Amino acid sequence: MSRYNRINEDTPEGSNVEGFSENGEMLNYMESLEQLSGDEREIALKLQKQLQFFLMDPIKKYKVRHQFPWKLMLQVLKIILITIQLILFAELRVTHVDFLEDTATVMRHKFLKDWDDERDVVAYPPPVGKYSVYRSTDLIEHFAFIVNSYYSLHNDSFASFSYDTGFTPYNKTKLSSGLRSDTMNYTLIPCMQLCTEKLRSVRIHNKTYEFDISPMENCNKLQFTIDELIQINEDPSALQDILASRNITFKADDSLGISKLTLHFNLRTIHFSPVLMDENPECYLIKIAIVFDNSRHTGQIQISLHSLISYVNICNGRALNDRKLSLHTLPILVIDILVFTCCLLSLGLCIRSMIKAYILQLRTGAFFKKNLYSKLSVIDKLEFVNLWNVMILLNDVFIIIGTLCKVSIEFRDFENHLFTLSSVFLGIGALLVYVGVLRYFIFFDEYNVIVLTLKKSIPNIMRFMVCTIILYLGFLFSGWMIIGAYSFKFRTLAKSSETLFSLINGDDMFPTFATINDTNTTIKVVGTIYIYAFVSLFIYVILSLFIAIIMDAYDVIKSRYTQKCHPKVSQLQEFLACAAEPDLNNSSSRIQFARDSQLPMTFSHR
């Protein structure tokens, strides 16, 4: 179905189907064309044919010119290649993320005392409480555990972890339990760094106090001798005296002054996974920060480990293999090159089509103004803007950027953010590519109902959503303020929004009621009424109205298809209605649509 005789689902009631001249009088295009001179009438006929061809779908264009639809085939080929590229990259992405998560898990089990597997499980609500200590002796024991684990790195880990140094701090000799033997050169092991964030001064005397809340941070390098390490290994509490000799104390008197302790150290590892595409060994730098958070000064010190794992080009070597080229390297590179080439061609053709449409719009506007004494309306000008081309342009740009990032990864110009950028750009580009496939279904009456329904309902939906969002924001801030301190599901504004959106979809209703802390009876009652009101309003009223708007648009589109209603409301459609319907089976009629028979696409008319 051509665009110039398609169903116009946005027909306003009482609108006229004829154009208007500049003085406001109704314009009869048939009479106006007959009054033109011979040359001008010929230009008008060519312009009509050119507009008819411009608004045709690819099928009719093929019937008119019998020209192979290269652009359509390019889009089909692009979809196939992008799909293959996404499958291959998704496997590589999953392998990489699994490595990062597994390494972070190993670090937590290695350096956090009494860390168990239950804490590694991502569950909601969490099966265990926050990993914390509550006494200064527990703090020293956890600190000593970290020190022992760091200096016994090669003994305990069944992995290729090493210190961040170019020297070898140990000899290949017999090992002792816990620490290395006496042949271990501990002076070559990189220092740990302890950073203390605290208040500038805290003075408490009888019933008076003086707090200087200006924050200050002190960092100390911790280099332990073999004797100190033996003491810590035998008695963890000895660490307190060892740190005190370095003017670092963790006594009860320091609880109000110290806000946060952060222990920094770096490790190296070599990752090798002979599965999927990741066949080459890679060297990584692991930056670890273990935080003892006492910022709330409640007596509960929360402990967390943060690991930043990044690729570094600090090791040289090669992997011996009987194959000169990996089974995956060449196909991946070929696919990337083909995708990049297809997207560049598609981008060029898309820009070319948009430029030609703009030139045709200028030529049509100039003709209307000069010969018909009328101006094209905004609706008529929008006929020359093909939003599908805009979508193709966007997805081409996203895919090109994502492919460049992906190729950088393949050539070992590796950074974690490149994986993230590649995933985001390729993912958004793939979404737009597949949405663009709907363009080719709207040419068939049986398949374009969803597109027309959305197009018809979107204006009403947008107006409806304005009121809905205002109500939603009201409930959001209200719930965060009332329940936030008494339910972890409303603890932050983002969590509150996620909880409310889940409630709209009917998820997790009873746990939302149950997680409100009942220590405050007023909050419990008000919070329960709040959830009842939100669910009743948004599920039974707003969601039903939302569905009704879409169903109303669907009924309108369905009735117009049933009645074969094709209203023409714009000047451009009236201008084209004066021309004869092209007979695609007539060779003489098809000649009128040949390139030689059309007007030149230049800016000279301006």
Residue 357 and residue 226 share a domain: no
If you write DSSP's letter for every residue of 307-343 in order, what string do you get? EEEEE----------S-SS-TTHHHHHHHHHHHHHHH
**pLDDT of 209:** 72
- Between the two ends of the chain, the Cα-to-Cα distance in Å is 32
**pLDDT of 180:** 45
Q: What percent of the chain has pLDDT over 90?
A: 26
Give the pLDDT mean for 196-209: 78
Is position 92 within any domain? no
Is position 136 within any domain? yes
Is position 154 within any domain? yes
HEC profile of 533-555? HHHHHHHHHHHHHHHHHHHHHHH
- Residue 595 per-residue DSSP state: G
* Residue where a domain terminates, one of 311, 346, 377: 311
Give the pLDDT mean for 499-508: 88
Asked if 270 contacts 283 with a C-beta cutoff of 8 angstroms, the reply is yes
**pLDDT of 564:** 59
Least confident of 237-241, 273-277, 515-519, 570-574: 273-277
Residue 137 and residue 63 share a domain: no
Is position 95 within any domain? no
Least confident of 156-170, 239-253, 290-304, 426-440: 156-170
Give the pLDDT mean for 61-84: 84
Given a cut of 80, is residue 335 above it in pLDDT? Answer: yes
Given a cut of 90, is residue 82 above it in pLDDT? Answer: yes
Given a cut of 60, is residue 64 above it in pLDDT? Answer: yes
Is position 110 within any domain? no
User: Residue 168 — pLDDT band, cuts 50, 70, 90?
Assistant: low
Decide which of 567 and 96 is more confident.
Answer: 96
Residue 72 and residue 147 share a domain: no
If you write DSSP's letter for every residue of 494-542 in order, what string do you get? HHHHHHHHHHHTT-SHHHHHHTS-TTSHHHHHHHHHHHHHHHHHIIIII
Residue 557 and residue 465 share a domain: yes
User: Residue 596 — pLDDT band, cuts 50, 70, 90?
Assistant: low
Residue 355 and residue 274 share a domain: no
Residue 238 and residue 134 share a domain: yes
**pLDDT of 1:** 39
Residues 213-271 pLDDT 10s:
778 888 989 988 888 888 998 898 899 889 888 888 877 677 778 889 999 999 988 87
Is position 93 within any domain? no
**pLDDT of 173:** 41
Residue type, 561: Y
HEC profile of 12-59? CCCCCCCEECCCCCEECHHHHHHCCCHHHHHHHHHHHHHHHHHCCCHH
Is position 317 within any domain? no
The H or E element that residue 270 is part of is strand 258-271
Cβ–Cβ contacts within 10 Å for residue 233, how many? 17
User: Residue 401 — pLDDT band, cuts 50, 70, 90?
Assistant: very high
Give the pLDDT mean for 325-348: 83
Least confident of 2-6, 140-144, 207-211, 364-368: 2-6
Residues 455-496 pLDDT 10s:
888 889 999 999 999 999 999 999 999 999 899 899 999 999
**Whole-structure pTM over 0.85, yes or no?**
no
- 99 closest CA partner among 266, 270, 316, 267: 270
**pLDDT of 205:** 73
**pLDDT of 166:** 62
Residues 6+ apart with CB under 8 A from 434: 79
Residue 285 and residue 164 share a domain: yes
Give the pLDDT mean for 100-117: 89
**pLDDT of 279:** 58
Highest average pLDDT, of 37-51, 394-408, 551-565, comes from 394-408
* Residue where a domain terminates, one of 311, 341, 375: 311
* Residue where a domain terminates, one of 282, 311, 340: 311
Cβ–Cβ contacts within 10 Å for residue 484, how many? 18
Residue 276 and residue 134 share a domain: yes
Residues 296-318 pLDDT 10s:
888 889 999 999 988 777 665 55
Beta bridge partners of 215: 199
**pLDDT of 122:** 77
Task: Calculate the alpha carbon distances from 177 to 146, 181, 596 in Å.
Answer: 17, 8, 90
**pLDDT of 48:** 77
User: Residue 126 — pLDDT band, cuts 50, 70, 90?
Assistant: confident
User: Residue 503 — pLDDT band, cuts 50, 70, 90?
Assistant: very high
**pLDDT of 483:** 92
**pLDDT of 143:** 92
Expressed as residue numbers, the domain containing 281 is: 120-311
Residue 11 and residue 26 share a domain: yes
Domain total of the chain = 3
Given a cut of 50, is residue 2 above it in pLDDT? Answer: no
Residue 67 and residue 204 share a domain: no
Is position 407 within any domain? yes
Least confident of 8-17, 243-252, 389-398, 546-555: 8-17
Residue 240 and residue 125 share a domain: yes
**pLDDT of 557:** 80
Asked if 242 contacts 232 with a C-beta cutoff of 8 angstroms, the reply is yes
Residue 141 and residue 273 share a domain: yes
Beta bridge partners of 399: none
Query: What is the pLDDT of the chain when averaged over all its residues?
Result: 79
User: Residue 18 — pLDDT band, cuts 50, 70, 90?
Assistant: very low
